[in-house]
Amino acid sequence: MGGSGSTRRVTFEADENENITVVKGVRLSDSVIDRMKEPSSPGRQHRGSGVVNDEELKKRIAEELALERARRDSEAQKRRLFGKLLERERISSNEHLTRAILRERAATEEERQKAQRF
């Protein structure tokens, strides 16, 4: 997934006790962190065991980052489409307004000519 153009550097390091992985350069929401704490399938990891495979953690972080990026890309696409819709609506409104002004001017001119005849 791309499109964001981000060149942010992400690093993975083990802490001083080598029992957790420290991820630097990534901002995660609380919901993402909560989902990462849950076991991915029933027999692979037990809740509260505290043992997390580094590769599994990296994989889960990459998956969560891909999901977040896809969500942001989807939201950006919706904003662009909404912006296009608003622009078309503005153009249409301007056309209707211009037509109404022209009709009003024509009616005014017709009334002025009638007044001159009498």
pLDDT tens readout for residues 48-94: 455 668 888 888 899 999 999 999 999 999 999 999 999 999 999 99
Q: What is the pLDDT of residue 57?
A: 86
Number of domains in the chain: 1
Q: Print the domain residue range for 88.
A: 53-117
- Which of 80, 57, 64 is CA-nearest to residue 3? 80
pTM given for the model: 0.43
In a domain? residue 12: no
In a domain? residue 60: yes
Helix axes 54-117, 30-37, angle to 10 degrees: 150
> Would you give the DSSP letter of residue 25?
S
What are the b/e assignments for 79-95, b being 16+ CB within 10 Å?
eeeeeeeeeeeeeeeee
CA max distance for the chain: 103
In a domain? residue 104: yes
In a domain? residue 70: yes
In a domain? residue 4: no
In a domain? residue 111: yes
Contacts of 3 (CB under 8 A, 6+ apart): 69, 73, 76
Give the CA angle between residues 102, 104, 107 to the nearest 5°.
110
Alpha helix (H) ranges present in 1-118?
Answer: 30-37, 54-117
In a domain? residue 88: yes
